Structure 1
């Protein structure tokens, strides 16, 4: 896992080999900010953020909203980063925007199902998310 020098002309989401901790550490250095400031700006606890950056805790289960918050905070500080780059560095596709009408429809369907149906819907959604993450 190499971080290498950042080349803004590089095609693709992040320089080759740059995972989420490497991306965040590079952008923090570029913006002159520290982990505490990033934690405060995103609402992510310092200990969680520090665990991700020091690789003492895995990053595969980071909530999508936390990834978006990281990108937004860094953008506010002048970093040249997009949510797509943050998600890609985390090895995940960028989720589409939430549309209230679709969310409401899905919640209505979920609530109309018996418990077994709710569990099946959740299981199906998780499988779909996994398939989409693999680019299938």
Structure 2
């Protein structure tokens, strides 16, 4: 048995968001894509475009992906944020808490304007790097 067969998160690694959502919806046969869209607060046309692969998912707002996780969990389906983010080709964000975000905002507000711009640019570079790593990681599993 290979290691990815032992790890539930890795068992389906390499599947895209449409395949993941299809697999998860199969676990709740009384639910539809329309039900999922409503439960996650996502418009049905948007979800349907992801499912038909007519709209890319690499720029989907992380909150939408978290909403999918929450909807499935409310229905009793086990899924991790990591699975959903990887399937969407997005970097898996670290946990955030209000205290950490407040501290970052306080520090940002204390910086001179030029340094604020530098910090934003640095954060954008870090995000692009994380997105590239996520794409490469996903491509390795396909």
The reply to whether residue 62 of structure 1 matches residue 60 of structure 2 is yes
Look up the match of 1:19: 16
State the shift of 1:10 in Å. 5.2
Structure 1, 47-56 or 87-96: larger mean CA deviation = 87-96
Tell whether the 8 Å contact from 1:14 to 1:88 is kept in structure 2 after alignment. no
Which ranges in structure 2 are unaligned for 5 or more consecutive residues? Answer: 135-142
Total equivalences in the alignment: 128
State the shift of 1:65 in Å. 1.4
Tell me: CA distance 1:10–1:31, structure 2 relative to 1, closer, same or farther (3 Å). Answer: farther
Tell whether the 8 Å contact from 2:28 to 2:75 is kept in structure 1 after alignment. yes
Q: What's the TM-score, normalizing by structure 2?
A: 0.77
Residue by residue, what CA displacement relative to the aligned partner does 1:89-111 show, whole Å, maximum 9, x if unpaired?
A: 12234212212222112112333
Matches within 5 A, 1:106-125: 106-125=104-123
State the shift of 1:71 in Å. 1.1
Look up the match of 1:48: 46
CA–CA separation in structure 1 for the residues paired with 2:13 and 2:65: 20
Which ranges in structure 1 are unaligned for 5 or more consecutive residues? Answer: 1-7
Look up the match of 1:34: 32
CA–CA separation in structure 1 for the residues paired with 2:111 and 2:43: 36
Question: Which of structures 1 and 2 has the larger relative contact order (alpha carbons within 8 angstroms, sep 6+)?
Answer: 2
Look up the match of 2:83: 85
CA–CA separation in structure 2 for the residues paired with 1:113 and 1:60: 32
Tell whether the 8 Å contact from 2:5 to 2:11 is kept in structure 1 after alignment. no
